[in-house]
Amino acid sequence: MEDATATKVVIVGAGPVGLTLACDLARRGVGVRIIDRAEQFQVGTRARGVRGRTQEVFEDLGVLDELRKHAEAPGTSRFYDEDGNVVRDVVMYDAPPVPGAPYPGSLMAGQQFTEAVLRERLASHGVAVELGGEFTGFRQDGDGVTADVRFAGRREEIRARYLVGCDGAGSTVRKQAGISFLGETWERQRMLFGNLTVDGLDDSVAHLWAAGPGGMLSLAPMPKSGTWFFTAPLPSEGGGEPVSVEAFAGIFAERVGLPGVSFRDPVYLSVYQVNIRMVDRYRSGRVLLAGDAAHVHPPAGGQGMNTGVQDAYNLGWKLARVLRGAPESLLDTYEEERMPVARHVLDTTVARGRHWAAAGAAQVADRMRGTFEGKDPFSDVSGLSLHYRGSSLARQLDDGIGVRAGDRAPDAHGTDTGTGERVRLFDLFRGTHFTLLLFGSRPAPVAGEDVRVHRIAGDEAFERYGVKDGGLVLVRPDGYIALAGGAWDDRSVADYLAPLAVE
């Protein structure tokens, strides 16, 4: 008999992606270890925009309310032209209401806070991140995988059923698995970024010098962390220059030259090099990749962390189900569903970056605001409209209902006719189960034990799901529509779930 507490999954990398996956697995009772080679947790901010779909994932994982406490209030961004004149003041990251989406805009919370609330959640499931553990290699066989991890003064072989590399763009897991990272490096596009203290600059707005040589120079106050976030283009020729406050001050002086503004006390500083790369497969046997380890792209639209969190959320329930005895082929649907998303994100961030860069300051302001208001010509950065239509896990029974299998299941209020209570559909979805929504009076089909069945009445729910007479919608544990139709028979749900059956 297998030990229920044994490590089933080892996760390499405790960034936002590894932590999301660890939380999702741990809440399903999967024995998980998560290691990171860093000696201490990140204190600085990289990603700030937690987009709409990611907020929904975080609500399901139980961290959204906590994260909100660390979010900056929506503020004004001030755009300047090349001569330093103000051309626009815009409020960004806010978005008009979207039916069925409780969080259409972005939550502006520093990545260090996102990671901290996920770690807290993970701790509530009894799992702690193991710092100072560097993954160096693995071997796998028919039963499992053994990860070699070097801790200070000792080496450990961690045995698990699966290994997931969430170890960022330079992923050792990816390299050791022999998975290619195909694409290009834009050698001439580099930027200095980090967090520091700024004196002498109006801290009631974010400042963006959007026109000028090399791209955007920005400084945004972050009252919740008591520092400023900055980005500055580095000269296209060069490399190896010192990463320092003085280097940033020099670029600022040359580019902006505002007297009386000074910089000090960096929280962290780094150089970002634009790479557009992705893997040609997400899995090698018992080893899988997620997040930056699988795809990197330009920052325009802030998609990196958000895309990686969605990878983890797509993978979590599948991995847990396979560990409970479902066929391994379920794991193939992870790549099937997420690889096209990565490709789409690479294409659209490149196009968006060029679109922004080709404009004057006033146009950049309008285009950036448009992007975050859902009017981007390339894609929807909120992630709300991403879908898995055409996936082998999406089955449309007929056209008798408006929603499509593979789409994100929208939120709505309605009445659960079984209890007579007013319900919010996202509350019904929350957790680790499948949810079967029935609309109308047709008899319920046979459903499995991990399917929660609710018969829903009410105009809003009918409208959001495009119900005419009646309808059936089976919602996956990650909130996407598995099966949909206006009519069904007794076996419709059981037949769908049979190939995913657990032991």
Where does this chain bind ligand FAD (CB under 6 A)?
12-18, 35-38, 46-49, 111, 134-135, 166-168, 172, 193, 272, 291-293, 299, 302-306, 308
Q: b/e map of 328-340 (b: 16 or more CB within 10 Å)?
A: eebbebbbebbbe
Give 291 or 414: the residue with its C-beta nearer to ligand FAD.
291
Give 10 or 403: the residue with its C-beta nearer to ligand FAD.
10
Task: Report CA dihedral (69, 70, 75, 79) to the nearest 10 degrees.
Answer: -170
Closest approach, Cβ 296 to ligand FAD, in A, equals 7
Which residues are registered as beta bridge partners of 27? Answer: none
Closest approach, Cβ 80 to ligand FAD, in A, equals 20
Residue in this structure with the two tokens 């975050």, named with its chain if needed = 372
Rounded to an integer, what distance in angstroms lies between the CA atom of residue 335 and that of residue 342?
10
Give 15 or 353: the residue with its C-beta nearer to ligand FAD.
15
Taking the CA atoms of 474, 19, 298 and 45 in sequence, report the sign of the dihedral they define. positive
Closest approach, Cβ 328 to ligand FAD, in A, equals 24
Rounded to an integer, what distance in angstroms lies between the CA atom of residue 313 and that of residue 341?
14
Judge whether 192 and 247 are in contact, CB under 8 Å: yes
Closest approach, Cβ 227 to ligand FAD, in A, equals 14
Judge whether 216 and 208 are in contact, CB under 8 Å: yes
What's at 329, amino acid-wise?
S
Closest approach, Cβ 391 to ligand FAD, in A, equals 23
Give 168 or 212: the residue with its C-beta nearer to ligand FAD.
168
Give 106 or 333: the residue with its C-beta nearer to ligand FAD.
106
Give 193 or 317: the residue with its C-beta nearer to ligand FAD.
193
Judge whether 409 and 481 are in contact, CB under 8 Å: yes
Give 193 or 209: the residue with its C-beta nearer to ligand FAD.
193
Closest approach, Cβ 87 to ligand FAD, in A, equals 23
Give 13 or 212: the residue with its C-beta nearer to ligand FAD.
13
Residue partners of 38: CB distance under 8 A and separation at least 6: 14, 131, 132
Closest approach, Cβ 170 to ligand FAD, in A, equals 7
Give 16 or 100: the residue with its C-beta nearer to ligand FAD.
16
Judge whether 165 and 75 are in contact, CB under 8 Å: no
Q: b/e map of 196-208 (b: 16 or more CB within 10 Å)?
A: bebeebebebbbb
Closest approach, Cβ 14 to ligand FAD, in A, equals 5
Closest approach, Cβ 16 to ligand FAD, in A, equals 5
Residue in this structure with the two tokens 């193991």, named with its chain if needed = 130
Closest approach, Cβ 331 to ligand FAD, in A, equals 19
Strands across the sheet containing 287-289:
32-35, 9-12, 162-165, 287-289, 283-284
Give 19 or 456: the residue with its C-beta nearer to ligand FAD.
19
Reported in sequence order, the residue ranges of 92-223 that DSSP labels E, i.e. its strands, are: 107-108, 134-140, 145-151, 154-160, 162-165, 181-199, 205-209, 217-222
Pairing of strands 227-233, 287-289: unpaired
Rounded to an integer, what distance in angstroms lies between the CA atom of residue 492 and that of residue 186?
50
What's at 339, amino acid-wise?
M
Strands across the sheet containing 262-279:
86-91, 76-80, 205-209, 217-222, 227-233, 181-199, 262-279, 295-296
Closest approach, Cβ 180 to ligand FAD, in A, equals 18
Give 255 or 395: the residue with its C-beta nearer to ligand FAD.
255
Q: How distant, in Å, are the alpha carbons of 6, 190, 298, 303, 424 from that of 169?
A: 29, 16, 13, 14, 38
CA angle centred on 134, ends 131 and 138, rounded to 5° = 130
Give 47 or 474: the residue with its C-beta nearer to ligand FAD.
47
Closest approach, Cβ 280 to ligand FAD, in A, equals 18
